[in-house]
Each structure stands twice: as structure tokens, then as C-alpha cells.
Amino acid sequence: MNYPHPIIAREGWPFIGIALLAALAVTGVVGWLWALPLWLILVFCVQFFRDPARPIPDGANSVLSPADGRIVAIEPVRDPWLEREALKISVFMNVFNVHSNRSPVDGEVRQRWYHPGKFFNADLDKASTENERNALWLRTRSGHDVTCVQVAGLIARRILCYVDTGAQLQRGQRYGFIRFGSRVDVYLPPQSRIKVTIGDKVSASATILAELE
């Protein structure tokens, strides 16, 4: 099911509500100056849980970024989930990025894996193999296999994924969320044409990472 875009992600409402009530209560009792840290926390929560609608580029073979952030890895690797040679593209999300995760391709979820792990800084390479992570194997309509992996970070302690085996996803469709800093790894067929470089800033659904051959 496509998730509507109400500007603020549904995962954030409890945090925003608690921060707002606390800030109002302290302001009413001792004044706004003492409550200022709570108002700043409220502002942080609102910006962290924002979930804007994004344009989706045309192109059936385009692989879109599943997350906002910065490209920290582009390398040939062994896909640990499908046991194949692959190209890995990693997107690092800091606490100021949108943390809504969206499908990079049109396709069917063939399998889902969850692996508990550690909480190293998601900017490090070892986060892909040692941190808590949730992986989706997506089979595109043209028969390409794409693995999309949500990876927890140093502060992130909660990976949320709302789809399972058999789900049909459309490019740009919202399927999960990671709270408070993390990364997403995308494993592509080796012959894919990469469209980004290390250090590029990317936007979920709006940025094309690669073209499938």
C-alpha cells in the first residue's frame, strides 16, 4: 500500500506529541527560558520526522535512491544475501536527513531477512556486515535482482519495515523507516551503469543511482 505524504511521518507523532506537551508544561510552570531546551527538542523532532513527497523519474530500468543522504561507497562486492557478485552503493543518512525509506525499483519482494547486530557508526564500511540490518530481495519486472538493505547506525536503534515476501512495490513507494541516523545499501547486478559518485548528496526517489542493463 502506498503511504500518503502528510509532511510528517507517522512514526514521529508520538515523539512530537511528547516533546510539545513537555515544552508547554514547563513553559506554563517556570517560563519559556527554562523550557527552551524542550522547544529545541521539539524542532529537532519535527525536522527529523518530515516525510515530503518526491518526484519519481521516468525509466523502467532506473534504480532510484532508497534514502536521502550521501554516497559513501560504490564498489564491486559479494552480495551476502543472494550469494552473487554485485555492485554495492551505500547511502549514509545523518540525523538531519529524511529517514523514510522508499523502494528503488518496481518489483516483487521475493524474500526478507532480518539480522540483529551491533551499532557501529553507519558511515563505516563494517556497518554493512556487523550492524543490525533488514534486507529485501526485489525481483524487477525485467528479471533483475536488487537487494536493498536497511542498516542501523550508532544512534539508530529501530529499523521499521512494513512489507514482506510477496509484496509488490513501485519505485518510490515508502516501505520503511530508520530512526536517528543510519544507512541503506543497494546491491545491483555487476553490469549496472552507475550514475552517482562518492560524496554525492542524493534524495530518496528523486535521484537515479544506476541503470540496469
What does the DSSP 8-state code read for residue 118? B
CB-based contact 122:153 (threshold 8 Å): yes
Instruction: Give the model's pLDDT for residue 115.
Output: 84
| Dist CA 8 CA 87 (whole Å) | 33
Fold of 62-211: Glucose Permease (Domain IIA) (2.70.70)
Spatial CA neighbour of 128 closest among 161, 151, 156:
151
Please determine, for residue 65, whether its predicted confidence score (pLDDT) is greater than 90: yes
Select which of 100, 182, 192, 205 is catalytic.
182
Domain map of the chain by residue range?
A: 7-51, 62-211
Query: pTM here?
Result: 0.82
Instruction: Give the model's pLDDT for residue 125.
Output: 64
| Dist CA 173 CA 11 (whole Å) | 16
Told to judge if 142 belongs to the known catalytic residues of this protein, a careful annotator would answer no
Instruction: Give the model's pLDDT for residue 90.
Output: 94
Burial 113-122 (b: 16+ CB within 10 A, else e): eeeeeebbeb
